[in-house]
Amino acid sequence: MKSDMSRYKAIKLPNLLLVHWVLNPGLAFNELILGQRIPKLTLVDKQSNEIYANRQYIQCPHCQTLHTSRRWGKGNAFFHYDGLYCPECGEKIPTLLNVFSIILLVILFPVWKPLQIIFAERFKAWELSRLAKTESLEHTPLKGISGIKLGLYFGGAMSVFYIAQVGFMHEFNSHAVIAGLFEGAIAGLFFGTVIKTFLSWRGRKSDPQEG
């Protein structure tokens, strides 16, 4: 989909949500273990009154095609270890990297780089096959966002991270598990509430004279 770019607002660094993604050490788990990726640039339709999740688009810098961000949402949000690919031209879409992910990738470069070289084409083919199954999302807007599910996913990931962190720094015991589950629950509750409110928010109708 190609369109008039003046109607879109660009979401990129130093946007606070993206800064949080880059600096939060817990989100390195999402990137390296879960394979979650966030594009460097997201465009938001300023003239739509849909919920926020339905107004977000990701543009391929190679072919300039706009894709709804939902193509990398529910059912296709994880396991993008080699980044995001444009379903139109097959080229990579630039994504952010958490600073702690960068540190670990530098340390583990001798391990993951040979694997990337060997399996790059197979992984790309798999990514594009997954994207082909999301084509219908271009024409089926979301009706709402499940804050409970989002909170559970995020809280679970944070619990694992907290427990592992305490275990490596001190020792694994029942207190570490309980503390990790508690902190994960708090983080999940906060995250789910914020994201539910943020993505389900409806923008106003733009003035006909704007844009």
Query: Between the ranges 22-26, 100-104, 160-164, 180-184, where is the mean pLDDT highest?
Result: 100-104
For residue 165, give the nearest of 154, 180, 185 by alpha carbon: 180
pLDDT band at 18 (very low <50, low <70, confident <90, very high): very high
Between 203 and 87, residue with greater pLDDT: 87
Residue 17: what residue type? L
Mean pLDDT value across the chain: 78
CA–CA distance, 2 with 50 (Å, rounded to integer): 19
pLDDT band at 85 (very low <50, low <70, confident <90, very high): very high
Residue 181: what residue type? L
Question: What is the structure's pLDDT at 48?
Answer: 79
* 3-state secondary structure string across the chain: CCCCHHHEEEECCCCHHHHHHHHCCCHHHHHHCCCCCCECCEEEECCCCCEHHHHEEEECCCCCCEEEHHHHCCCCCCCCCCCEECCCCCCEECECCCHHHHHHHHHCHHHHHHHHHHHHHHHHHHHHHHHHCCHHHHHCCCCCCCHHHHHHHHHHHHHHHHHHHHHHHCCCCHHHHHHHHHHHHHHHHHHHHHHHHHHHCECCCCCCCCC
Between 134 and 179, residue with greater pLDDT: 134
For 130-177, the pLDDT digits (tens) are 998 888 766 565 555 555 555 666 666 666 666 666 666 656 666 666
pLDDT band at 206 (very low <50, low <70, confident <90, very high): very low
Question: What is the structure's pLDDT at 204?
Answer: 44
Instruction: Using the predicted structure, report yes or no on whether residue 207 has a pLDDT greater than 50.
Output: no
**For the chain, percent of residues with pLDDT exceeding 70:** 63
**What mean pLDDT do residues 111-136 have?**
89
Greatest CA separation for the chain: 63
Question: How do the domains of the chain map onto residue ranges?
Answer: 5-143, 145-211
Q: Report pTM.
A: 0.66
Instruction: Using the predicted structure, report yes or no on whether residue 106 has a pLDDT greater than 90.
Output: yes
